[in-house]
Amino acid sequence: MSLLAFALLAQAAAAPPTPPPPPPQPQILPPLVRPVPSPDRPLGPDVGVGTDELGEEIVIIARKLRMVHVHLQRKANGMPASCTVLKTSGDDEVDQLTCQAAKTCATRFPARDTPAQQMIQCTKDEQARLVEELAEKRIEEETAK
């Protein structure tokens, strides 16, 4: 074995092994909102189902919703005190929708020992309802123009 090969083997043996990559972090996603198929439109390649105007708007809002991060502060009695947008979607209405959903659920379940899964489900349900309302409002506004 040559001196160079020996040096390379010694160097490789002295180097610490490469650590494995960290496990993937779970993503918190907004509620799954599926548009209702429209019989007069083909399947949408982006969402996998037929879309109509409302469905398209819901998909747009849901994508923005994924970007929003908020912090909800509660009073001593568990009721919501304030909601701060930590990461914006760039759409103020979507950001406020997220805070509104969090506040509604904190009001509905003020006890601090409410199971996290119950709060998460409440927030998802409330967001889905508010997304649909916002989509309908935006379509009506666009139609009125």
The CA-CA-CA angle for residues 62, 132, 88, to 5°, reads 40
Q: Quick one: tokens of 107?
A: 């009001």
- List, for residues 105-142, the tens digit of each pLDDT value: 999 999 888 898 998 899 989 999 999 999 999 889 88
pTM to 2 decimals? Answer: 0.61
Residue 11, domain member (yes or no): no
Residue 43: beta bridge partners?
Answer: 50
The pLDDT tens digits of the residues spanning 58-71 come to 888 888 888 999 99
> Is 90 inside a domain boundary?
yes
Count structural domains, the chain.
1
Within a domain: 1: no
- Domain containing 85 equals 29-140
Identify whether 62 is part of a domain: yes
Least confident of 24-38, 57-71, 81-95: 24-38
The answer to whether position 20 is within a domain reads: no
Within-domain flag for 41? yes
